[in-house]
Amino acid sequence: MENKGINRRDFVGASLAATAGLLASSQTGFSSQAANATKSSGLKVGLYSITYLGVWYRGNALSLEDVIRRAKKYGYDGVEVDGKRPHGHPLSLSRAHARELRKVAEGEGIDIYGLAGNNDFSSPIVEYRDAQLVYMRDLIQLAPELGAKTVRVFLAWRGVTEKHGLASYSLSEPLWETIHKGFSPEEIWDWCRDGMIQCTKYAADAGVTLALQNHKPVINNHKDMLRMVKEVNSPHLKVSLDAWIMDDKSPEAIRQAAHDVGQLQALSHFGGEFKREADGTVKGPDYYASFVAAMKEIGYKGYIGYELCHTLPVVNGQTVGLEFADQCAEGAAIYMRELIKGQAS
């Protein structure tokens, strides 16, 4: 699709701002000037608790209380709770505990802004889809207890397997493809739509908004995401457009996608590995600068949440530990705040 009115000079400048970095405060690890710029722009920087779930780095999961404290320490505005054990799954997080966490977060000045579902409505097995609906119903009902106004949803999440405490996509991704052989894309789409329609009813009862992420499979691009929102036709279903999972990350494609979703944008995420260097600089991919610029153009004033959710480096024969997650979480907050600051004018 042709994009008109794109100022390449603006996007080049934004990309350069992405690598500028800043000298962090010795106490908090982030710039108060950048934090103020973030607040004035309306964009907020969040920490998605998958980063500390204990399945990607070597070591145990942090408690949600500790995740909240990490968010405070590194200068995040809020936390998105992952809907998996031992964090936000309804079987491990009671409503009473959720209310206690809300108080802890309020005491730290941290917003629990979201709860993340890990659902799959695409299965050919009816009983499996029904079980997913029960999970999502309970998760959506849990969100208000945390104070979360948004619940992230997928159409199809392939899941992970764990071995020796570490997660992998190596089995779940080919298994998903095998299970769906012989079923047409239209059949799979219809199952997903039925699941989403039911979830919007739960969301309406709970007073929360669902944010459909542009995550494969079933969804191949942001247009598929928007098609599903249109077909479900509920005010309780919006979107989470994430730049890092777009196939085309050019400034033009990111800007077009942002303008296509417009006021439907209710949540977003960013990923990657970040490190604050000795001089305070933090570098990241140029396309995030394009994304932040585009979010400002459409008037998005919500969260962009950091997630560490991929296979991590092996050093001296061992997968890196908790200290690596800390390094990335600290660096990501500095990086995104500085990026937003650079886009503030």
pLDDT of residue 15: 40
Contact by Cβ (8 Å): 18, 331:
no
pLDDT of residue 280: 87
Measured distance CA(48)–CA(46) in Å, rounded = 6
Residue 18: pLDDT band with limits 50, 70, 90 = very low
pTM exceeding the 0.85 threshold for the entire prediction: yes
Contact by Cβ (8 Å): 276, 249:
no
Q: For the ranges 39-48, 109-118, 133-142, 224-233, which has the lowest average pLDDT?
A: 39-48
pLDDT of residue 24: 36
Q: Is the pLDDT of residue 11 over 90?
A: no
Contact by Cβ (8 Å): 205, 147:
no
Q: Is the pLDDT of residue 17 over 80?
A: no
Residue 336 burial (CB count, 10 A):
29
pLDDT of residue 105: 98
Measured distance CA(297)–CA(307) in Å, rounded = 24
Residue 70 sits at the vertex; the CA angle it makes with 64 and 72, to the nearest 5 degrees, is 110
Contact by Cβ (8 Å): 340, 38:
yes
Handedness of CA 338, 56, 154, 46 (dihedral sign): negative
Measured distance CA(313)–CA(273) in Å, rounded = 10
Mean pLDDT of the chain: 90
Residue 38: pLDDT band with limits 50, 70, 90 = low
pLDDT of residue 39: 59
219: left (phi over 0), alpha (psi -120 to 50) or beta: beta
Measured distance CA(150)–CA(114) in Å, rounded = 5
Tens of pLDDT along 126-135?
A: 999 999 999 9
pLDDT of residue 342: 87
Residue 36: pLDDT band with limits 50, 70, 90 = low
Structural domain boundaries in the chain: 8-342
Q: 8-342 domain in CATH 3.30.1490.100?
A: no
Q: Is the pLDDT of residue 193 over 70?
A: yes
pLDDT of residue 41: 73
Tens of pLDDT along 245-276?
A: 999 999 999 999 999 999 999 999 999 999 99
Contact by Cβ (8 Å): 115, 143:
yes
